[in-house]
Amino acid sequence: MAMIANECASLLESIDSPASLRAIPESLLQPLANELREELIQTVAGSGGHLAAGLGVVELTIALHRVMETPRDRLIWDVGHQAYPHKMITGRRSEMAGIRKMGGLSGFPLRSESQYDAFGVAHAGTSISAALGMAIGAVHDDSQRKVVAVIGDGGLTSGMAYEALNQLGHLGSDVLVILNDNGMSISPNVGALSERCSPCSDSEAVEDPAGFFAALGLDYHGPVDGHDMADLLAALNEVMPVDKPRVLHVQTCKGKGYHHAEDDPVKYHGVGSFDPGTGLKPAVSSAQAGVAKLGGPQTYTEVFSEWLCEMADRESDLVAITPAMREGSGLVNFAKRYPGRYFDAGIAEQHAVTLGAGLACENLKPVVAIYSSFLQRAYDQLIHDVALQNLPVLFAIDRGGLAGADGATHHGSFDLSFLRCVPNLVLMAPADEDECSRMLTTGLCHDGPSAVRYPRGGGPGAAIDEMREPLPIGKARHCRQGSNIALLSFGSLLPTAQVVAEEMDATLVDMRFIKPLDEAMVMQLAETHQMLVTIEDNAVAGGAGSAVNECLMANGRVLPVLNLGLPDRFVQHGTREELLSQCGLDEDGIVAAIESFRSSLR
């Protein structure tokens, strides 16, 4: 018995690539899975990151790399939260402690990181489209390589997935779609397809999923127990040689093998460091749910959550919409208190925005709570369906600016640029918690489209006025009078700008509104100072600083202007503080940039 235990304990050490995995006896694959799952728990407990999704696909990951000839065959993970086991058996196990840390592994598959990451992902619903493109490429190259897309039932709430399935069935390409069915995205799945087309459903009106996929031109196989290694291998060996569109339905348990995560997969979707013996502390759960913490500054998400519930008490016509981000956007309390006024659209950002437009047409007051990087996916709907019709939809945009450890795919680097050019839209960026609350009220009261864009994490700790009075639209706030240099701060970097202003005896203005810009304030500062400096946590290109430049040029006023913001490159992962420093947006970086710019003018 001891010999067997020692043999099993050394299995993971012997796996440095899928080739070595394919070389061990099949009887050792389940012991390998057990060891991999245990190490995943220990690793994420120390580093933080995505846990429950990866625990649910340990056997599936091993089985896929066993049957496929990766990296020649293409394996694509939709979203990528579940790809930690994949990273661990493709030569990156020794680097897992640094995952999502600056200079370490990405939390998602990344083409530049490994030849085994066939496609870079992080937003849902892209895998089948990419797989179809790769399958067409294989035909073009006269290659015999296989292409597999692993997508969850949560990912299948994305409209893009159905667009891809539609063309895949039409073209008849050699793509295997693995439906990883665990009843979850980040939150429990919503929608008619989830209720009626899954054997896991509690609905009495369950439809045959084989018929659904057959209507799209795909052969259906399954369901298969995703934690039974023998069954998985048998099913994959059966469907892999087929050369036409097919689906293998695999049923898994999100959080499998760690009872805390099985009991609460939402809580254990993304975690910080924790004791694996006792699990997460209750305080983590409350913060994740958007409930105010005891002591310490609130996060901007929590400010929004409290504001939304309070306004719903006052305004019976207020309704809230989220594209499958109930926890992350702070809508848990609202969903519990006002279930008839809460709409989870699933991972369907385009639909979520136009749903809001339709609600606004019927005199309701829709609030679309959405991450900045996910709003990118609904840009046409924002323009065509909301702004063009001047409909009063309020966008509560979370994760504006640098989002931290999730990296380039989740930074809200571009929202000020792509929103300020949209006619009719009022665009605001708060500098503290009170401004955030009051700006949300401003948007709700405005008879037209509006957006409040705020960062991930906490503010400076400003007290929130209980009245939550709206702000005068387009008016900035003068914070400090100095001389020679004026700092124009847009959004959450105001506390940093305050320190810089004190050090350099500069005037400081909290601009508040990107659109409409307080042009009178800009011109006043231009007349009374030798140099203007704009500060924002958005791309410099086309951002708030560009709006200031345009104002000055339109009014024929020429003076030195330094625009500080995010560089013209994709910023990778790290803590928000590390990334701000890297981009020159901490106190030292801003002072150095101003001094350098001022020297160049002499």
* Active site amino acids: 254, 349, 377
Number of residues assigned to the chain: 602
Q: At what angle do helices 519-528 and 544-554 cross, to 10 degrees?
A: 70
User: What is the DSSP track for 525-592?
Assistant: HHHH-SEEEEEEEEESTTSHHHHHHHHHHHTT----EEEEEE-SS----S-HHHHHHHTT-SHHHHHH
Contacts of 213 (CB under 8 A, 6+ apart): 165, 219, 220, 247
Map tokens 């994949």 to a residue: 86
How are beta strands 507-510 and 477-480 bridged, if at all? antiparallel
Please give the C-alpha separations between residue 339 and each of 135, 319, 343, 379, in angstroms, as whole numbers.
43, 10, 8, 28
What span, in angstroms and rounded, lies between the C-alpha atoms of 135 and 118?
12
Opening angle at CA 433, ends 427 and 439, nearest 5: 30
What span, in angstroms and rounded, lies between the C-alpha atoms of 317 and 436?
21
Map tokens 């996910």 to a residue: 374
Q: Residue 210 in contact with residue 246, Cβ under 8 Å?
A: no
| Among the listed residues 153, 149, 117, the one whose alpha carbon sits nearest the alpha carbon of residue 133 | 149
Contacts of 351 (CB under 8 A, 6+ apart): 159, 323, 345
How are beta strands 394-398 and 365-371 bridged, if at all? parallel
What span, in angstroms and rounded, lies between the C-alpha atoms of 121 and 109?
6
What span, in angstroms and rounded, lies between the C-alpha atoms of 220 and 239?
10
What span, in angstroms and rounded, lies between the C-alpha atoms of 42 and 81?
17
DSSP three-state, residue 513: strand
What span, in angstroms and rounded, lies between the C-alpha atoms of 564 and 278?
45
DSSP three-state, residue 89: helix
What span, in angstroms and rounded, lies between the C-alpha atoms of 550 and 303?
33
How are beta strands 513-515 and 561-566 bridged, if at all? unpaired
Contacts of 177 (CB under 8 A, 6+ apart): 128, 131, 148, 149, 151, 165, 168, 218, 245, 246, 247, 248
Give the largest CA-CA distance in the chain.
85
What six digits make up the tokens of 178?
């693995």
Map tokens 């502390």 to a residue: 281
Helices of type H across 346-386? 349-361, 372-375, 379-381
Name beta bridge partners: 184: 188
Amino acid at 168: L
